[in-house]
Chains A and B, each alone.
Chain A
């Protein structure tokens, strides 16, 4: 147990406290009769959980520092009066703890009732129904608020800094546990949230009273993650559904077809550790440099930041990192398995085929790649224009991959996969989509009508025919834009692009569209060609296109019968055309002679393991899916490699499990003292500073996965009470928060009062409540309730009400007893004052006030004890004599009220039972009838 570190004490020994032991020591204690061993410095709650002993808790969260405010974890310790909160009381040698006694039940139940008094009873509209810790505790404790006054919250509009696109607020559901405040300050070091107060009511707000958007909030979601109720939630639609949580919570990674560990390589890039960043990229990407230039960046569409302002420039950051990789540290980490003796043929040397080849060769299989063209690279070489992707990059990447030792046979077209399957142990068909779909215009016999994919290839080979002055391109995808821009660059006078989709729905990247417009290309979106005028070719063979006619399309749909359109009558427009390029779809250049069962557009039919109709033959990439992107080809190449490896008797683990950089613990701290996150997206990642600035925009969604889940009372861990649960029993035992807390020292001092230095805590509280009393903060001066009582003239019940109301207003908001207890007392007394009291109020008030006065059942605090005057909000573990009840302010206020009411019992009962104010000062009451007044006289006669 030597590696156990006290979270709350930051590993520092709690010196000089008898019996508590040094950190690293193990103490033995008894909890509910079970013998429990725990590292010194651990809290009773942690020790109990580790042994499967459930203690209810609400403000406590395993990764956060304890606050002791909710009183749910109240326990009794043998030989000590009252109860203590288990979350912030340290274990001690020989301690005997009881978690379920009449007294602890009473403290918990009343505290929960007090919290429920202002919580909506309507759970049915709450998204966390059945996943709510409060609901779960209600069930466990069997408590509802029915005997208490309903408290209406008035500061909901201010809570958590107003509306924003990422965090959904339901402030009525907030119970002020402060987990979000602590997560933001202590875990993330940001400190955007704090307890605030207005009009006598505490709420969780944003520092300086600004909105969350104006604040230093990093939108990391830690607050949402730790919220026990539905008070703060993720805005629906940000995270994908139906995928595993570890992917879903990192939407960029989830959206990337190869599931690249994006947040991590962004982090390393931010730190200037480019080799590390590239190592992470390389685990999933065989062509990171090319992808850094031309990736369709689905990741950016997933980026959570996109909902806030603009997504990160993930692709351009990737390019920068790859270009600054240096020696390529990842190379030494690549796993190469011993030769398996199996031979594999890959058909097609595009990104998909080469990816499969590289992995399969790595896994010990002897791979030969067949490529029909002169050079490998597929669409990287023959499709994407050279002005977009430098061929040096592609050749370099293919060179790197080739070092693995597979053979590429160029200029060899495979005519039958079935035949190949007889010669090799496994075959991967990754031939791409090399043929243009026939145009729906009748132009197939026209020499000047060219399929887009062929036009693009000619452009890459510098072999474009004479295009004339007017070039018309049909289509709105990347290929269409490549063709249009290629034509323009090759000297066409006027290039027009006609596409069915409206501008906002065009398939091409915004960047491509904007560049095309800048280059002078005319874009006619939301139009479709319906006719073309043809002439006879001059040489007499076939015909040629003279012009095309397009109409405006109001709407369209693709149904089983193909395209259906609603066109605008009279919108026909004729475009004279010297060359027509139709980039309206691609087909797979295969037919039945290839020996495989084919599907739509000649794609290869496969099962879910990518196996084609002939055993041992697998297919992947565009050949299966139709035209997709490079990154999808790479991802599918990996999938094919995995399945072929399995087919060849491998274990299938070698492809997706490559690790080129060991993952240490994540740094949980986001606040770096540098202030607000940069807002504007930068496309131009030209130097280290630009890369740093852009990567600093990352919201670090992945950090949420490091926050452990709270165990509900029904959790399997609590079924074996008293049995050590090892690492599974309580996340605290393996100290997952160690990493999280390692930088706490940046902001904090030592010991009990350490939190005072955290930005956004004590200072703000003082400012916030500065006009209501003397300096008021946890660990600071005790605020004073200054309601006087003049026995001759004041009504004691009304005075009691005023004391309760002021005490509630002075509460820092952390502790249920002074916050909700005094608010409840004020509400009850307010009813009593105005004649709506009930007999049960006497007992109810007594119960609540006694609880507040005695500090959750503690002995009255010792006079002169400094440093823990505000025990309810005290941070750090309490020593044996420290209080963990309500604060001194509330204790004395509750005591005053009890004393006032008991010494003026007649007035109190008079208010409740007779609805009379004996002092005749409470406005609601008529003057008391009786002996004080003169008897009414009989009316006389005139």
Chain B
């Protein structure tokens, strides 16, 4: 048995939301223990680059025309008022101050960014050392900062430690049963628990049970190791009301995306996209809104869609560069197309090890195919050849006039004029689950009757029900924004409970 564990607040999960909650509570003089399964804080958010805020000093300096009121109205229109307006308001109201708050701990931001051209610049990207360019994984800086702040505030972070269940006494939270790095199980005592375990993106069974997707077949979402729904299961077992979790949807080509960046980015340009019936179903202009595109692909037969280009289009990219550039991948040209295509076709995906989490079937299936004729292309992909021929005729025709079907801007309608054809399959993917328990605007977890469970708080992705059915990419930075801000709220509110109700 290890040493006695006792604190005012125990935070389960040291990810974006959990570590923020710990700092918030500790700044108000709470004693805090963080239970973290891994050896590093920041959780899934270490992959991120920044987070949402509105009316921040960066936005003011950049003359961004977006007020809290406008953002709130936009958000509630987007969600049809099916989400907790009080929580949305509190989150947005606090968001700009949270930027200042973490800056006061020594963090720096590059500025407020859009995620794609039609989105708002609400994404506050963290600056990395020695560079003024946005960088993938930049946000891990934020978690170093918060972790160091937590240590200054004497927060005890227990690494390699797993929480098993939430303990209750007289109907109130009284502690957490944990298993330490040595494999010893013990009770850690506290007055309030904040659950922030990041959902269940790495739990195919929960994904199937809660959202109906079969991972590896019709869903190819990220599976960040360890994000298996620990917290949600603990809270549900403790009587928390269940809310409908949703997948933070996007789309991907297994074995191509995240392995061969140039192939992937080229095949994600707003060109021709068809379903297995050879029909267009989307205004491809929205392909940079990955949620909308993921939604649209999910509606198609076998939940798959194909983008098709040919050498004539590639030549255009060679001459003028790509149309859509994401600064996290930052692929502007097709310089590496030939090299990557050669490697891809030679089966080097496997050797990179980067597709290791994809299933055997995916590894054998080529998502990107090359063909000399439309017939061959359809043979390889299963697309209806007759329909595809008509679609291409119509599409090429549109390039000389206009897209009367979906009103795609003319500049993105590049006709297929000849040479080899390339088709790339796109499947629904996602960043992970969102939501699962019902909370109020104090991040108190509610029971089935809508009353709070005394001492139980949840924040971050476990509690993120503010997007309704689809993540709102139009206000980018929202997942981490909600994680950090809801964590901050939970930290303050949990201590308020300990001081004023529990005591």
List 17 extra interface pairs beyond A126-B225, A127-B356, A231-B353, CB under 8 A.
Answer: A120-B258, A120-B352, A120-B354, A121-B137, A124-B222, A125-B222, A130-B42, A139-B143, A140-B144, A141-B129, A143-B129, A150-B261, A157-B348, A157-B351, A170-B354, A244-B182, A714-B41
With the chains together, A157 CA to B343 CA distance in Å? Answer: 11
Whether B105 sits at the interface, judged by CB under 8 Å, is no
Whether B83 sits at the interface, judged by CB under 8 Å, is no
CB nearest neighbor in B for A105: B129
Cβ of B38 and Cβ of A113 under 8 Å apart? no
Instruction: From known contacts A110-B130, A139-B40, infer whether A125 and B258 are also in contact, taking CB-CB under 8 Å.
Output: yes
Whether B276 sits at the interface, judged by CB under 8 Å, is no
Q: How many residues of A contact B (CB 8 A)?
A: 49
A655: shortest Cβ distance to chain B, in Å?
20
Residues from chain B with a CB closer than 8 A to the CB of A127 are 225, 356-357
Whether A659 sits at the interface, judged by CB under 8 Å, is no
Within 8 A of B (CB), among A89-133: 105-106, 109-110, 113, 120-132
Cβ of A129 and Cβ of B133 under 8 Å apart? no
With the chains together, A441 CA to B475 CA distance in Å? Answer: 71
B201: shortest Cβ distance to chain A, in Å?
9
CB nearest neighbor in A for B150: A714
Within 8 A of A (CB), among B101-157: 128-138, 140-141, 143-144, 147, 151, 157
Instruction: From known contacts A121-B136, A124-B47, A712-B159, infer whether A172 and B40 are also in contact, taking CB-CB under 8 Å.
Output: no
A interface SS class: loop
Within 8 A of B (CB), among A242-261: 243-245
Whether A715 sits at the interface, judged by CB under 8 Å, is yes
Cβ of B356 and Cβ of A170 under 8 Å apart? yes
Instruction: From known contacts A141-B129, A147-B133, infer whether A130 and B43 are also in contact, taking CB-CB under 8 Å.
Output: yes
Cβ of B134 and Cβ of A130 under 8 Å apart? no
With the chains together, A170 CA to B135 CA distance in Å? Answer: 23
In the complex, which of the residues B39, B137, B348 has the most CB atoms of chain A within 10 Å of its own CB atom? B39
Sampled A-B contacts (8; CB under 8 Å) = A124-B44, A124-B258, A125-B258, A132-B40, A146-B128, A146-B131, A147-B130, A152-B336
Whether A761 sits at the interface, judged by CB under 8 Å, is no
Instruction: From known contacts A146-B131, A156-B348, infer whether A123 and B39 are also in contact, taking CB-CB under 8 Å.
Output: no
Cβ of B141 and Cβ of A142 under 8 Å apart? yes
B47: shortest Cβ distance to chain A, in Å?
6
With the chains together, A152 CA to B223 CA distance in Å? Answer: 24
CB contact between A136 and one of B40, B44, B339, B351 (< 8 Å): that residue: B40
Cβ of B46 and Cβ of A123 under 8 Å apart? yes
CB contact between B128 and one of A106, A144, A230, A712 (< 8 Å): that residue: A144
In the complex, which of the residues A121, A231, A715 has the most CB atoms of chain B within 10 Å of its own CB atom? A121
Whether A145 sits at the interface, judged by CB under 8 Å, is yes
With the chains together, A106 CA to B357 CA distance in Å? Answer: 36
Instruction: From known contacts A121-B137, A123-B137, infer whether A109 and B129 are also in contact, taking CB-CB under 8 Å.
Output: yes
Inter-chain CB contacts under 8 Å: number: 142
CB contact between B351 and one of A120, A132, A171 (< 8 Å): that residue: A171
Cβ of B351 and Cβ of A156 under 8 Å apart? yes
Residues from chain B with a CB closer than 8 A to the CB of A171 are 351-353
Q: B140-180: contact bitstring with A at CB < 8 Å (1 yes, 0 no)?
A: 11011001000100000101000000000000000000000
CB contact between A144 and one of B138, B183, B351, B355 (< 8 Å): that residue: B138
CB contact between B354 and one of A110, A125, A141 (< 8 Å): that residue: A125
Whether A719 sits at the interface, judged by CB under 8 Å, is yes
CB contact between B140 and one of A126, A138, A172 (< 8 Å): that residue: A138
B interface SS class: loop
With the chains together, A53 CA to B144 CA distance in Å? Answer: 17
CB nearest neighbor in A for B38: A130
Q: B26-50: contact bitstring with A at CB < 8 Å (1 yes, 0 no)?
A: 0000000000011111111011000
B438: shortest Cβ distance to chain A, in Å?
28
With the chains together, A715 CA to B40 CA distance in Å? Answer: 9
With the chains together, A135 CA to B224 CA distance in Å? Answer: 14
Instruction: From known contacts A130-B37, A130-B43, A139-B143, infer whether A124 and B224 are also in contact, taking CB-CB under 8 Å.
Output: yes
With the chains together, A715 CA to B147 CA distance in Å? Answer: 11
Instruction: From known contacts A139-B140, A146-B133, infer whether A129 and B128 are also in contact, taking CB-CB under 8 Å.
Output: no
In the complex, which of the residues A122, A123, A135, A144 has the most CB atoms of chain B within 10 Å of its own CB atom? A144
Within 8 A of B (CB), among A641-660: none
With the chains together, A109 CA to B128 CA distance in Å? Answer: 10
In the complex, which of the residues A105, A129, A245 has the most CB atoms of chain B within 10 Å of its own CB atom? A129
Residues from chain A with a CB closer than 8 A to the CB of B353 are 156, 168-173, 230-231
With the chains together, A169 CA to B355 CA distance in Å? Answer: 12
Residues from chain A with a CB closer than 8 A to the CB of B258 are 120, 122, 124-125
B49: shortest Cβ distance to chain A, in Å?
9
Residues from chain A with a CB closer than 8 A to the CB of B136 are 121, 144, 146
Residues from chain A with a CB closer than 8 A to the CB of B157 are 714
Residues in A lying within 8 Å of B, measured CB to CB: 105-106, 109-110, 113, 120-132, 135-136, 138-147, 150, 152, 156-157, 168-173, 230-231, 243-245, 712, 714-715, 719
CB contact between B355 and one of A125, A145, A146, A156 (< 8 Å): that residue: A125
With the chains together, A139 CA to B141 CA distance in Å? Answer: 5
Cβ of A715 and Cβ of B159 under 8 Å apart? yes
Residues in B lying within 8 Å of A, measured CB to CB: 37-44, 46-47, 128-138, 140-141, 143-144, 147, 151, 157, 159, 182-183, 222-226, 258-259, 261, 330, 336, 339, 348, 351-358
B44: shortest Cβ distance to chain A, in Å?
8
Residues from chain B with a CB closer than 8 A to the CB of A243 are 183
In the complex, which of the residues B47, B129, B182 has the most CB atoms of chain A within 10 Å of its own CB atom? B129
CB nearest neighbor in A for B184: A244
B347: shortest Cβ distance to chain A, in Å?
10
Cβ of A139 and Cβ of B183 under 8 Å apart? no
Residues from chain B with a CB closer than 8 A to the CB of A244 are 182-183
Cβ of B39 and Cβ of A130 under 8 Å apart? yes
CB nearest neighbor in A for B339: A152
A225: shortest Cβ distance to chain B, in Å?
15
Cβ of A131 and Cβ of B356 under 8 Å apart? no
CB contact between A714 and one of B128, B159, B354 (< 8 Å): that residue: B159
B276: shortest Cβ distance to chain A, in Å?
27
B181: shortest Cβ distance to chain A, in Å?
9
CB contact between B225 and one of A122, A129, A714 (< 8 Å): that residue: A129
Residues from chain A with a CB closer than 8 A to the CB of B355 are 125
With the chains together, A356 CA to B43 CA distance in Å? Answer: 48
Cβ of B38 and Cβ of A139 under 8 Å apart? no
With the chains together, A120 CA to B43 CA distance in Å? Answer: 18
Cβ of B159 and Cβ of A143 under 8 Å apart? no
Cβ of A144 and Cβ of B137 under 8 Å apart? yes
Residues from chain A with a CB closer than 8 A to the CB of B41 are 139, 714
CB nearest neighbor in B for A244: B183
In the complex, which of the residues B134, B137, B138, B141 has the most CB atoms of chain A within 10 Å of its own CB atom? B137
Residues from chain B with a CB closer than 8 A to the CB of A132 are 40
Cβ of A170 and Cβ of B141 under 8 Å apart? no
B491: shortest Cβ distance to chain A, in Å?
19
CB contact between A147 and one of B131, B223, B225, B357 (< 8 Å): that residue: B131
With the chains together, A138 CA to B42 CA distance in Å? Answer: 12
With the chains together, A245 CA to B184 CA distance in Å? Answer: 11
Residues from chain B with a CB closer than 8 A to the CB of A173 are 353
B261: shortest Cβ distance to chain A, in Å?
8
With the chains together, A109 CA to B40 CA distance in Å? Answer: 19
Cβ of A712 and Cβ of B137 under 8 Å apart? no
With the chains together, A907 CA to B136 CA distance in Å? Answer: 34
CB nearest neighbor in A for B147: A714
A679: shortest Cβ distance to chain B, in Å?
26
Cβ of A142 and Cβ of B144 under 8 Å apart? yes
Pick the 6 closest A-B CB pairs, nearest first. A170-B353, A130-B38, A146-B135, A144-B135, A244-B183, A139-B140
With the chains together, A496 CA to B352 CA distance in Å? Answer: 54
B164: shortest Cβ distance to chain A, in Å?
12
Cβ of B135 and Cβ of A123 under 8 Å apart? no
With the chains together, A122 CA to B136 CA distance in Å? Answer: 9
Instruction: From known contacts A109-B129, A123-B137, A146-B128, infer whether A135 and B40 are also in contact, taking CB-CB under 8 Å.
Output: yes
CB nearest neighbor in A for B154: A719
